[in-house]
């Protein structure tokens, strides 16, 4: 997996962006389905599902274990299946992260032979943004690749962080 970062240049007002690129042996249609299907998404996205009607301008939510915790909200800004999905992203999992405001996530799918190149760009981040906003992408994309190529789920520590509802304190 390739990760690139371009920080704010002193002569521009462009916010920080993080770019992640991965190759997955699958079809664009199957990759699109994995990004937009609640149950498939839950299997590689820390146990969190994404719910939406996936139309331009529609809202979406990322939530943990059957809606037990809201993790992020946003709007589907561009929806072009199975090639491109652009979403606003407002993290909700802690007060500190909520204060980071809204950023943007772009999913771009390009067929390459019998595989696809998936490029995820997380941008409109403020300079010095909290790494929790974008630090999970390598694990999420590794889980996506593992699921689509093997049918298995990634079980690294943290990869299923939100797969179970929180337990009440004793």
Q: What's the pLDDT tens digit per position in 33-70?
A: 999 999 999 889 888 889 999 999 999 999 987 667 89
The Cα–Cα gap between 97 and 2 comes to 25
pLDDT in tens, 85-123: 999 999 999 999 999 999 999 999 999 999 999 999 999
| Helix 137-150 / helix 28-36 crossing angle, nearest 10 deg | 120
32's enclosing H/E stretch is helix 28-36
Q: Model pTM?
A: 0.83
Query: Is residue 8 exposed (0-12), middle (13-18) or buried (19+ Cβ within 10 Å)?
Result: middle
Measured between alpha carbons, how far is 107 from 13 in angstroms, rounded to an integer? 23
- Which pLDDT value is given to residue 155? 81
Q: What is the mean pLDDT of the chain?
A: 86
């Amino acid at each position: 997996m390739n990760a690139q970062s371009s920080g704010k240049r002193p002569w521009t007002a462009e916010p920080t962006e993080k770019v992640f690129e991965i190759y997955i042996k699958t079809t664009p249609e199957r990759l699109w389905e994995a990004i937009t299907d609640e149950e498939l998404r839950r299997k590689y996205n820390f146990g969190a599902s994404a719910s939406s009607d996936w139309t331009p301008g529609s809202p979406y939510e990322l939530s943990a274990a059957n809606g037990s915790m809201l993790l992020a909200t946003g709007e589907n800004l561009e929806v072009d299946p199975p090639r491109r999905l652009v979403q606003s992203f407002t993290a909700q999992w802690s007060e500190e992260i909520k204060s980071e405001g809204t950023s943007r996530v772009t999913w771009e799918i390009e067929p390459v032979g019998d595989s696809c190149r998936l490029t995820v760009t997380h941008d409109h981040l403020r300079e010095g943004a909290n790494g929790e906003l974008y630090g999970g992408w390598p694990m999420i994309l590794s889980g996506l690749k593992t699921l689509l190529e093997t049918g298995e789920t990634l079980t690294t520590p943290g990869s299923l962080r939100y797969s179970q509802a929180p337990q009440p304190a004793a």
